């Protein structure tokens, strides 16, 4: 569970709804506080049980580099409603949603796409689908296949308990004690509760199946022709850092390790993370523009 440190929207950041042919998606939009966006936009996709608020600490810094940055709630997450049909929450279906959002956000221009954790498994579907006009793909604290380690165990607990006991039980017996033990402030605990209970239960169960059972698609992704970045925390407790480093090698991707961070670098080390993303995005943009004009 990614836990934002604060919830107050920074200057230049506002709540929006993104209307697409596949539905309406809740979003946070960041624009430069001064000047206009002169670079290609970026689209940020959160992880399992996460939301757009997981990116709140990097939005202003990313936008100040001269681009519009959008963080979304996926279908069934927090403030974006979702259907009762489990098939709507497969990585492929969610990837198609992100494709539709990218088309609206890009307005004909390429979009830098980032997926955090489970969002990385979704974002790679968008990239592999090949219809979105993408400038680059960043996999942040994500992996080559289904999640392993402590977070895998938590996913299996959720699969066993959620259908039987419901979201209130999961919050009171699993998430709240964890948040309180970590010393999370009261206002953030209240937000985490509100966010969890707003998730579509069918969506959570389906997404848990997806994050646990995802297949390895590195070989396909390596051939997609996009600039790729693998970015993760030095102490990631999701996919092990060594596994992510190996994935970067297999993808021939740039690899950035964020010192001191765990599974949510955008929360735990926002300035380092934003600087790495801006540098990668600017380089990818320059390369694409040279290619277009060459």
Contacts of residue 208, defined as CB under 8 A and 6 or more positions apart, other chains included, come to 48, 155, 158, 159, 162
Cα 72–173–158 angle (5° rounding)? 55
pLDDT digit of tens for each residue in the chain (294 aa)? Answer: 789 999 999 999 999 999 999 999 999 999 999 888 999 999 999 999 999 999 999 999 999 999 999 999 999 999 999 999 999 999 999 999 999 999 999 999 999 999 999 999 999 999 999 889 999 999 999 999 999 988 899 899 999 999 999 999 999 999 999 999 999 999 999 999 999 999 999 999 999 999 999 999 999 999 999 999 999 999 999 999 999 999 999 999 999 999 999 999 999 999 999 999 999 999 999 998 888 776
* 100: phi then psi, degrees, rounded to nearest 5: -65, -40
pLDDT in tens, 107-156: 999 999 999 999 999 999 999 998 899 999 999 999 999 999 888 998 99
Q: How many residues does the chain have?
A: 294
Tell me whether strands 254-258 and 134-140 are parallel, antiparallel or unpaired.
unpaired
Tell me whether strands 69-72 and 42-45 are parallel, antiparallel or unpaired.
parallel
Cα dihedral across residues 183, 185, 189, 191: positive or negative? negative
């Amino acid at each position: 569970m990614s836990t934002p440190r604060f919830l107050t929207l920074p200057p230049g950041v506002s709540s929006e709804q993104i209307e697409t042919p596949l539905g309406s998606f809740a979003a946070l939009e960041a624009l430069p506080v001064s000047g206009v966006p002169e670079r290609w936009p970026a689209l940020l996709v959160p992880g399992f049980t996460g939301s757009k608020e997981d990116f709140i600490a990097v939005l202003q810094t990313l936008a100040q580099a001269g681009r519009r940055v959008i963080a979304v709630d996926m279908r069934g997450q927090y403030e974006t409603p979702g259907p009762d049909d489990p098939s709507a929450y497969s990585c492929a279906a969610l990837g198609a949603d992100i494709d539709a959002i990218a088309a609206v956000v890009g307005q004909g221009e390429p979009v830098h796409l980032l997926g955090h954790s489970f969002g990385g498994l979704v974002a790679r579907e968008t990239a592999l689908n090949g219809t979105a006009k993408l400038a680059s793909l960043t996999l942040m604290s994500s992996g080559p296949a289904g999640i392993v380690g402590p977070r895998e165990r938590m996913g299996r607990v959720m699969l066993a308990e959620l259908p039987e006991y419901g979201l209130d039980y999961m919050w009171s017996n699993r998430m709240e004690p964890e948040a309180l033990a970590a010393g999370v402030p009261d206002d953030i605990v209240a937000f985490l509760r509100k966010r969890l209970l707003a998730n579509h239960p069918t969506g959570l169960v389906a997404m848990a199946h997806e994050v646990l059972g995802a297949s390895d698609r590195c070989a396909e992704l390596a051939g997609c022709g996009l600039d790729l970045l693998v970015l993760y925390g030095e102490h990631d407790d999701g996919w092990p850092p060594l596994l992510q480093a190996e994935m970067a090698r297999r993808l021939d991707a740039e690899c950035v390790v964020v010192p001191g961070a765990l599974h949510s670098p955008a929360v735990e080390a926002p300035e380092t993370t934003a600087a790495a993303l801006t540098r990668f995005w600017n380089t990818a943009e320059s390369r694409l523009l040279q290619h277009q004009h060459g």
